[in-house]
Structure 1
Amino acid sequence: MKDGFKARTRIIYLIIFLTGIIMTTRLFFLQVVNSEQYKNEANKQHFSPAAKNFDRGSIFFTEKSGRVISAAVVKNAYQIYMNPKVLEDSEDAYAKLSKIVSVNKTDFMAKAAKKNDPYEVIMHKVDKDKALAVDALNIKGLEIYPESWRYYPAGKLASHVLGFVGYKGDSLVGRYGLELAYEKKLKRDLDKKPVNSFAEIFYGIKKIVAGGLENADITLTLEPTVQSMLEKKLEEILEKYKGKMSGGIIMEPSTGKIVAMSAKPDFDPNFYSEEENIGVFTNPLVESVFEMGSIAKPLTMAAAIDGGGVRPDTMYTDNGFVKYGSAIIKNYDGKARGKVDMQEVLSSSLNTGAVFAMQSIGKEKFSEYIRNYGMGNRTGIELPNEVSGKISNIIDNNRELEYATASFGQGIAVTPMEMTVALASLANGGKIVKPYLVDKITIDGFRDKKTQPEVIRQVISKEASEDISRMLVKVVDGALLGGKYKMENYTVAAKTGTAQYMEAGSKNYSEEEYLHTFFGYVPAFEAKFIVFLFVAKPQGVLYASHTLTEPFMDITKFLLNYYEVPPDR
């Protein structure tokens, strides 16, 4: 047993001795034999753009077929740079260089004159063939170096979702959108790679212990053809009605999967530095709140039906107005309809009817439904800087008037994403789902972490959602512009909204500035898609039915055809 112990001890000492010999030999070659070579390399690196090395995970769109296409990638090329300190004949250098690439002579000579400057960029993003041709000139003081940058092949497409990569100090990092939200996953930490063989040993150990970088690529749920179609429609809306902004979301109501989402005006992330107004980088779909107006009425009606306050055929007397002290709530046209049912409340978009429905379950229960719809909370979508809706009027206030106005979408403000998720509950059997943009994250090129659809809660019963869907189909078939857009082979459930903006510096609502909204889902009773649209401050048209109905129907018909959805009637 003693002999065995001694043998093992000798082996351990031998391993330590041999390791020492190897390290000493390696140090000798590094510090003595090859010292001049490494010194030259270090000097070259000091005067080269090595610090600009850049790599990053890719982002992909997903086509209907399942094929992925690039949304954000790293593009590689070369830069040509000059070391004026060692450039001997600038005229000769320019003459030879200009035969390969187009260079401004005045600029070239001005840079060559900076004899104390070791590094002047001549040209960025030079392709490989030209770069190698320049290198073959073998002109002392004229060098090429690989460079990389973030590139968005589709330009403006989904720019608010993607964001962009820009400088923060000396580092390139995600600066908005998913580029920011997933910075730690997309980042490739080139700066921390080992600089010598000994550091490499400890770097490897540290990487094993810490788990290393994820080296992730991200595949989105966005379908590029649908995204492109949505953006085209939003651009048309903005141009036609001279609005301040427009926006839209297309989502699967049963899963929360975002098929397309966009806002206009937008930007090209390849040229973000050319934007004069940095406010365009903000995503109003998750970062801005709006009083949504009458598209809130179906939520109120569904709550009242689910809470047992009304049925679709419940009657009430519409006098055209409701008084709360000195405050008067009127219908949009100021007219009274007399004795009408709840269907007529939605078909004619009666404010007084929404108030009646709210009162049928009481303000406390109504407030509970509003919160359970998710209003006043972030949806949890993967985008950064998401804000929550402002519903304090019906949380911290006991005034009947605030609950009355909230019943038709006034006095409470939510994000378009918040509203879309709430409205999706009418289409999916009463469930609040978590919206998502990321289909999967691929780590190290082979390990997939796929997003699973998530149901947050049941807010209304399936029966109540079916009742409200039937009512909204009747709105489209008969009331919406006189039934002009009724589809022969498909049931479409939809509702418009026209909300007043608050006057700047006042508590009064403007009679000139409006937010137009429109939502709908199709097929109404087995909904594949919910579509939400808005345009802020359109000019020359008062009601959303005239600005957004046609774009909504164009989008709906496109989706039904593109996804080959079978008719349901």
Structure 2
Amino acid sequence: MPSANRRINVWYGILILIIAVIIGRLFYLQIIRHDYYRAEALADQLKEYEIVADRGVVKAHEGSQVVNLVLNQKLYTLYADPGYIKDVPATAATASAISGGNPAEYEAAMRRTDTRYVVLAKRLSELQRNQIIEQKMPGIGIQAVNYRNYPQNNLAAQILGFVNDDGKGSYGVEQFYNKELSGTPGKLKAVTDVRGVPLAASKDNIRVDPKAGSDLILTLDLGMQKQLESILKAGLDKARSNSGSALIIDPNTSAIRAMTNWPTYNPAEYFNEKNAEVFNNAAVSSPLEVGSTMKILTTSAALDLGVIKPDTSFYDSGRWELDSHTITNIEEVGGAGTRTITQVLDMSINTGAVWMLMQMGGGEINKQARERWYDYMVNRFQLGKATGVEQGYEANGYIPDPVNGYALQLTYANTSFGQAMAATPLQMAAALAAIVNGGTYYKPHLVEQVGNQIKKPEAVRSGVVAQSVSSQIRSWMEYVVSTHFFEKRFGDNYSVGGKTGTAQIASPAGGYYEDRFNGTYIGFVGGDRPQYVIVVRVNEPKIGGYAGAGAAQPIFGSIAHMLIDNYGVIPKSR
């Protein structure tokens, strides 16, 4: 009997020990390791969703109102989580029937084992979204995505840019201000059921609400923009040119009132474009050798340095031999003779521009002449570097180094009349604005308000040229307009000045094509003071005559009359 009791006690002790081990293990698992195993249990059921933020809208001026130029349109992305899909063929058939997709492709996507997220379709409508949800298909989800809507169609397309399928701004202001426009996405971390559908009432759900992006208000006048686009296209057609640019800025702030290029595109259907070059705003991204419009800048620098005066005259030999090359003029200039600065601009005399550059060096294109001219081009007129305008892919342009390089006398002689250098139409507009407004260079800008922040005009440099130089250059440019042909003349009560440019196109093999030219025109419109600066570019016109005078000048004339007739140009007071 005692041995039997001992056996019972032993077994009882073993039982107690087992129970104690089990209780201890349960305590360890449920209390000490509770958070770990709970997280493990939730891992397959806990999914994180991004809640898209409303992208900021883009607005612009239309008369006295501010109107929407770009809005949001909510569409939907259809996706699959292959881990939750049980009946792949049936699910693929149903989802593709609603979305208009390919059942075989959907089925292949749903059988993938290397991912838990496969996009099946994009840009689904609200109706399609509701139909998908009604089917309650395990592993099939729908996600809202903001796409852009353009109530003004393709107006100002290259200024605006577009938003790609990933929600990222590309080109234009959409790219430049992508962060501000995007806002901050929200977050939903939710426990899901066996179908992958979030359980709304779960205490384990975490939600962070999205923060909407900032709206933009542009400096553009939409009425002016529409007319500029029409004028440029009509002018290019008449000149038999396939591409070109035009822009209008306020010279007293460098606010861009209108800017356009041809060809253009529809930003709502950017994905249909085969040539990505059309997305670029060529007025800011495509520099060119500007031709004789550069003579305005050369003359301004020489006059400001005091090496010429308004009444200066000089003997022009009609040719310069520099670095084994000869610089000459167009036939209409004639041979050698005494010339004035007025004639250099009016007749567009290349050798006269070179002569003015020589005066910066005491009579030759030496290091002093090159460095002084370089200082004006780069540090005063701000060429050779991006302006900072709110656009994607702005180009720097090119100004040659004044000290290091090959054939520097010839190179710098060429820059005096707009060859061997490159600038964008916007750079030339901002430089001319600084010359004719009295000498202040303002940073060109397209955006006047970001959210609640109002942006003020930014003066980059004052004293670009003296007030007296500004006044004299305006007078010379007005004279040039008065002596050149326009289908419709300008009234004496308005101040209209300008300068043509015809530039040979550089050959990739070196040198220049003999029969390929670009035409340019820079000018201003105003009364007692300039109110608008205009720049026109026409690429390779196929008409007779000079590209500047024959192709770009008529477009300038139409733009100037449009501004006088419709956009508040104040006549001269006397």
Query: Aligning the two structures, in what range does the TM-score lie when normalised by the shorter sequence?
Result: 0.7 to 0.9
Residues 240 and 134 from structure 1, CA distance in 2 versus in 1: closer, same or farther, beyond 3 angstroms?
same
Q: Distance in 1 between matches of 2:322 and 2:79?
A: 75
1:491 aligns with 2:500: no
> Which residue of 1 is the match for residue 468 of structure 2?
463
1:350 aligns with 2:354: no
Query: Displacement of 1:287 after TM fit?
Result: 2.5
Residues 164 and 325 from structure 1, CA distance in 2 versus in 1: closer, same or farther, beyond 3 angstroms?
closer
Query: Displacement of 1:510 after TM fit?
Result: 1.4
Q: Which ranges in structure 1 are unaligned for 5 or more consecutive residues?
A: 1-23, 205-211
Q: How does 1:411-426 map to 2 (within 5 A)?
A: 411-426=420-435
1:368 aligns with 2:366: no
- AA aligned to 1:394 is P
Residues 502 and 396 from structure 1, CA distance in 2 versus in 1: closer, same or farther, beyond 3 angstroms?
same
Query: Displacement of 1:531 after TM fit?
Result: 0.7
Q: How does 1:10-159 map to 2 (within 5 A)?
A: 54-78=52-76, 107=102, 116=111, 125=123, 127-128=125-126, 132=130, 145=142, 147-153=144-150, 154-159=152-157
Residue of 317, 321, 330 corresponding to 1:319: 317
> Which residue of 2 is the match for residue 21 of structure 1?
none
User: Residue deviations 1:228-282, cap 9 Å, x none?
Assistant: 2222233334434343531122111110111122222222222222222223233
Residues 406 and 77 from structure 1, CA distance in 2 versus in 1: closer, same or farther, beyond 3 angstroms?
closer
User: Residue deviations 1:398-452, cap 9 Å, x none?
Assistant: 843333222111212122222211111222112211111111110xxxx324333
Residue of 497, 521, 541 corresponding to 1:518: 521
1:439 aligns with 2:467: no
User: Residue deviations 1:104-161, cap 9 Å, x none?
Assistant: 9xx569858988589998976555467657866x676798846333214034322222
Match of 1:179, SS?
helix
- AA aligned to 2:372 is K
Residues 340 and 483 from structure 1, CA distance in 2 versus in 1: closer, same or farther, beyond 3 angstroms?
farther
Look at both structures and tell me which one has the larger radius of gyration over its CA atoms: 2
Q: TM-score, normalised by structure 2?
A: 0.77
> Which residue of 1 is the match for residue 272 of structure 2?
274
Give the number of aligned pairs.
Answer: 513
Q: TM-score, normalised by structure 1?
A: 0.77
Q: How does 1:169-184 map to 2 (within 5 A)?
A: 171-184=166-179
Residues 127 and 336 from structure 1, CA distance in 2 versus in 1: closer, same or farther, beyond 3 angstroms?
same
Q: Distance in 2 between matches of 1:115 and 1:501?
A: 55
Is the Cα–Cα contact under 8 Å of residues 160 and 177 in structure 1 kept in the other structure? yes
> Which residue of 2 is the match for residue 428 of structure 1?
437
> Which residue of 2 is the match for residue 566 of structure 1?
570
Residues 173 and 164 from structure 1, CA distance in 2 versus in 1: closer, same or farther, beyond 3 angstroms?
same
Match of 1:531, SS?
strand
RMSD of aligned alpha carbons: 4.1
Match of 1:328, SS?
strand
- AA aligned to 1:339 is T
Q: Distance in 1 between matches of 2:136 and 2:507?
A: 67
Q: Distance in 1 between matches of 2:284 and 2:109?
A: 49
Q: How does 1:498-513 map to 2 (within 5 A)?
A: 498-506=502-510, 508-513=511-516
Is the Cα–Cα contact under 8 Å of residues 323 and 409 in structure 2 kept in the other structure? no
Is the Cα–Cα contact under 8 Å of residues 354 and 416 in structure 2 kept in the other structure? yes
User: Residue deviations 1:492-515, cap 9 Å, x none?
Assistant: 011110001112211x22111111
Query: Displacement of 1:296 after TM fit?
Result: 0.6
> Which residue of 2 is the match for residue 11 of structure 1?
none
Q: Distance in 2 between matches of 1:384 and 1:78?
A: 27
Query: Displacement of 1:185 after TM fit?
Result: 1.6
User: Residue deviations 1:171-215, cap 9 Å, x none?
Assistant: 4322222222222222234265665978969x79xxxxxxx9783
> Which residue of 1 is the match for residue 11 of structure 2?
none
> Which residue of 1 is the match for residue 395 of structure 2?
387
Is the Cα–Cα contact under 8 Å of residues 486 and 554 in structure 2 kept in the other structure? no
Identity %: 27
Q: Which ranges in structure 2 are unaligned for 5 or more consecutive residues?
A: 1-29, 192-202, 362-368
Match of 1:475, SS?
helix
Q: Distance in 2 between matches of 1:160 and 1:128?
A: 29
